[in-house]
Amino acid sequence: MSDIFDLILRGGTAVLPGMTLEVDIGVRDGKIAAIGDLEGAGAANIIPCRGLHILPGVIDTQVHFREPGATHKEDIEHGTMAAAVGGVTAIFEMPNTIPLTTTPETLAQKMDIASQSAYCDYAFYFGGTAINARELPAWENLPGVCGVKIFMGSSTGDLLSATDEEVRAVLANGQRVVAVHAEDEMMMNENKKTILGNSNDVRLHPVWRSPESCVSATTRLLRIARECGRRVHVLHISTAEELAVLTQNRDIATCEVLPNHLTLAAPDCYDRLGTHAQQNPPIREQRHQDALWRAVRNGLIDILGSDHAPHTLDEKAKTYPASPSGTPGVQTLVPVMLNHVNEGRLTLERFVDLTASGPARVHQIAGKGRICPGYDADFTVVDMKAKKEITNKQQKSKSGWTPYDGMKVTGWPTATIIRGQVVMQDGEVSGLPCGQAVRFKETLKPENPEAAIVPMARTRQQTG
């Protein structure tokens, strides 16, 4: 093995599969080439990492970047720039952005834009509906597609699949994982008449979009998934009751939780933030948050995603319920969760499982999700002792705000490295957009096998 590398990360504490060690990491041709004591090796670029932690690149599997090229809303360039500054190395974009990702043509349009403007790697969910269901077995395997998405609760355009028949049409066609926004549209429509009525009180948001609507949709989804023999991934779990249902269906279902649901709680968040805390499904009372944390700690939760939805401050200032649901989050995911690590709510290794190993496992990502020889050289380098304040001014998103403005945290991303390229260091984006489409094991062609495994170098003593 040559002792000349393109990049060496020197002396950091790396979270490796099954162990956390102080090591050097050598990178060659965009792949991890060696892990261990590389003291005598040379490289074109050496980054001192002593005192820092090196994590597998964080993958945010739920973002919305809105219409490309818009002057006032998000685009892929600014959304992925925010991701890179926040320590995120890859994103999966949801289909309810303009244009809707429901045909090969709209997918190709987004792939083309991303290939020219993305600062991190990317993939796109295909929007599944009864209208395009028969085409999904072929379309779900197109390059850059991470899976299929269903909206059982209201969304943009014709993406709503509210009834059992519509959900079944999608689940009966194809093989890859189907991610689902599980809120019962019919139940919420009734709640809107009887509970919300003409009220403009945002504190009614979690009552209108009730826990019962989530439990109903999730229960219906799991029944249909079992009938169809289809893997489903239930997004942004927000209720204690859903967790009990999911526990009984782990053979067919995985699930996700958001930093917002783990960090903010009603009614305080609505009293402090008003519509800036409004999202779907809603942020709920403390008992639900407590249950979500128990699920994080006991391993029930598979993935942590941001659900980045960059509505502008002007849009959010509309009178509820005309105000849109959703908050920015891709840039704050890492620091908010590192603060939870430092406050003892989860371990750093569990954070890595939720943001790297989990996404790779659920979505069968090829060559990402762990620090291992032969894998993509994707790293989120963090300073676990750094004390910072999150501010609106820091945000690279076009929305220009965060619900965590003014929050003081301990733990901060210091570098984002994607396939061996330093994309962000000390808060500054370096170079031109270099993002590429994420690859998936289920769609790999025989002529594109996984990279060969390279033997590990000797390691230093394990650190505490």
Query: What is the amino acid identity at position 16?
Result: L
Rounded Cα distance between 142 and 239, Å, is 34
Q: Which of 398, 459, 442, 421 is nearest to 177 (CA)?
A: 442
Q: Is 60 a catalytic residue?
A: no
Distance of CA 95 to the CA centre of its chain: 14
DSSP state string for 23-81: EEEEEETTEEEEEE--TT-EEEEEEE-TTSEEEEPEEEEEE---STT-SSS--HHHHHH
Report the half-sphere exposure of 347 (CA within 13 A, side-chain side): 9
The torsion defined by the Cα of 318, 324, 326 and 330, in degrees rounded to 10, comes to -80
DSSP state string for 104-171: HHHHHHHHHHHHHH-SSEEEEEEEP-TTTGGGHHHHTTSTTEEEEEEESS--STT-B--SHHHHHHHH
| Active-site pick, 75, 302, 307, 353 | 307
Residue 370: its H or E element: none
Give the strand pairing for 178-181 and 232-234. Answer: parallel
Rounded Cα distance between 241 and 238, Å, is 9
Which residues are designated catalytic?
307
